Structure 1
Amino acid sequence: MKLYKVTAFSQLREKSGISIKSLAGLTGKCERTIYRWERGETNPDPKIMEELKLMAGETLTKSPNKSPFFSFIDLFAGIGGLRKAFESIGGKCVFTSEWDKACRQTYQANFDCDHEVAGDIREVDPDSVPDFDVLLAGFPCQPFSIAGVSKKNSLGMPHGFHCDTQGTLFFEVAQMIERRRPAAFLLENVKNLVSHDKGKTFRIIMKTLKEELGYTVSYRVIDAKGWVPQHRERIFIAGFRNDADFTFDDMDIPDPHEGPKIGTILHPENGTEEEEPPYTVGEYGEVSKKYTLSDRLWEYLQNYAKKHRERGNGFGYGLCGPNDVARTLSARYYKDGSEILIRQDGGKNPRRLTPRECARLMGFDKPDGRSFVIPVSDTQAYKQFGNSVAVPVVEAVARHMLPSILEARRHQNHIEQPSLFEVAGNA
Structure 2
Amino acid sequence: MSDFDRVAAELAEQARVQAQHKEEQDRQLLMRVLEIYDQKTVAAILRKVSQQEWTRESVNRWVKGNSRKTLNEAEVSLLHSMLPAPPAHHPHYAFRFIDLFAGIGGIRSGFEAIGGQCVFTSEWNKHAVRTYKANWYCDEEQHRFNQDIRDITLSGDAQVGEEQAYQHIRQQVPDHDVLLAGFPCQPFSLAGVSKKNALGRKHGFEDEAQGTLFFDVARIITAKKPAIFVLENVKNLKSHDKGNTFRIIMSTLDELGYDVADAAIVGSPDPKIIDGRHFLPQHRERIVLVGFRRDLALPTFSLSALPTLYPQQRTPLKALLDPVVDAKYILTTTLWKYLYQYAKKHQARGNGFGYGLVDPELEQGVVRTLSARYYKDGSEILIDRGWDKALGEQDFDNEENQQRRPRRLTPRECARLMGFEQPGKEQFHIPVSDTQAYRQFGNSVVVPAFAAVAKLLQPWIEQAVKPRR
Q: Work out which of the residue numbers 363, 369, 372 in structure 2 matches 1:331.
A: 372
Counterpart of 2:358 in structure 1 is: 320
Counterpart of 2:191 in structure 1 is: 147
- Which amino acid in 1 is paired with 2:351? N
> Between the two proteins, what is the percent identity of the paired residues?
58
Counterpart of 2:302 in structure 1 is: 247
Q: Structure 2 CA distance, aligned partners of 1:155 and 1:381?
A: 43
> 1:395 and 2:464 equivalent?
no
Show the 5 A alignment for 1:412-427.
415-417=467-469
Show the 5 A alignment for 1:2-21.
none
Instruction: Deviation per CA, 1:307-327: give whole Å up to 9, x if none.
Output: 111111111100111222110
Q: How far 1:261 moved relative to its partner? A: 2.4
Contact 1:70 1:133 in 2 (8 A): yes
Q: Structure 1 CA distance, aligned partners of 2:312 and 2:458?
A: 27
Stretch deviating more after TM superposition (176-185 or 247-256) = 247-256
Q: CA, structure 1 residues 257+395, in 2 after alignment: closer, same or farther (shift >3 Å)?
A: closer
Q: Structure 2 CA distance, aligned partners of 1:173 and 1:83?
A: 16
Q: Structure 2 CA distance, aligned partners of 1:291 and 1:164?
A: 46
Contact 1:226 1:256 in 2 (8 A): yes
Instruction: Deviation per CA, 1:271-318: give whole Å up to 9, x if none.
Output: xxxxxxxxxxxxxxx200000001111110011111111111111100
Stretches of structure 2 that go unaligned for 5 or more consecutive residues are 1-85, 153-167, 263-271, 387-399
RMSD: 1.9
Q: Structure 1 CA distance, aligned partners of 2:90 and 2:384?
A: 47
Show the 5 A alignment for 1:13-412.
63-64=88-89, 67-114=92-139, 115-124=143-152, 125-127=168-170, 128-153=172-197, 156-210=200-254, 212-218=255-261, 220-241=272-293, 242-244=296-298, 245-252=300-307, 259-267=314-322, 269=323, 286-322=324-360, 323=362, 324-345=365-386, 347=401, 348-410=404-466
Counterpart of 2:39 in structure 1 is: none
Q: How far 1:378 moved relative to its partner? A: 0.4
| SS of structure 1 residue aligned to 2:303 | coil
Q: CA, structure 1 residues 111+158, in 2 after alignment: closer, same or farther (shift >3 Å)?
A: same
Contact 1:226 1:254 in 2 (8 A): no
Instruction: Please report the TM-score for the alignment, with normalisation by the length of structure 1.
Output: 0.75
Q: Structure 2 CA distance, aligned partners of 1:68 and 1:145?
A: 40
Q: How far 1:65 moved relative to its partner? A: 5.5
Q: Structure 1 CA distance, aligned partners of 2:150 and 2:288?
A: 23
- Which amino acid in 2 is paired with 1:84? S
Bigger relative CO (Cα 8 Å, ≥ 6 apart) = 1
Contact 1:355 1:381 in 2 (8 A): yes
Corresponding residue pairs, total: 335
Q: Structure 2 CA distance, aligned partners of 1:178 and 1:142?
A: 20
Stretches of structure 1 that go unaligned for 5 or more consecutive residues are 1-60, 270-285, 418-427
Instruction: Please report the TM-score for the alignment, with normalisation by the length of structure 2.
Output: 0.69
Q: How far 1:152 moved relative to its partner? A: 2.2
Q: Structure 2 CA distance, aligned partners of 1:103 and 1:316?
A: 29
Q: Structure 2 CA distance, aligned partners of 1:300 and 1:254?
A: 42
Q: Structure 2 CA distance, aligned partners of 1:100 and 1:319?
A: 31
Q: Structure 2 CA distance, aligned partners of 1:320 and 1:163?
A: 47
Instruction: Deviation per CA, 1:313-361: give whole Å up to 9, x if none.
Output: 1111001112221100000000000000001147410000000000000
Q: CA, structure 1 residues 71+159, in 2 after alignment: closer, same or farther (shift >3 Å)?
A: closer
Larger radius of gyration: 2
Q: Structure 2 CA distance, aligned partners of 1:312 and 1:82?
A: 39
Contact 2:131 2:431 in 1 (8 A): yes
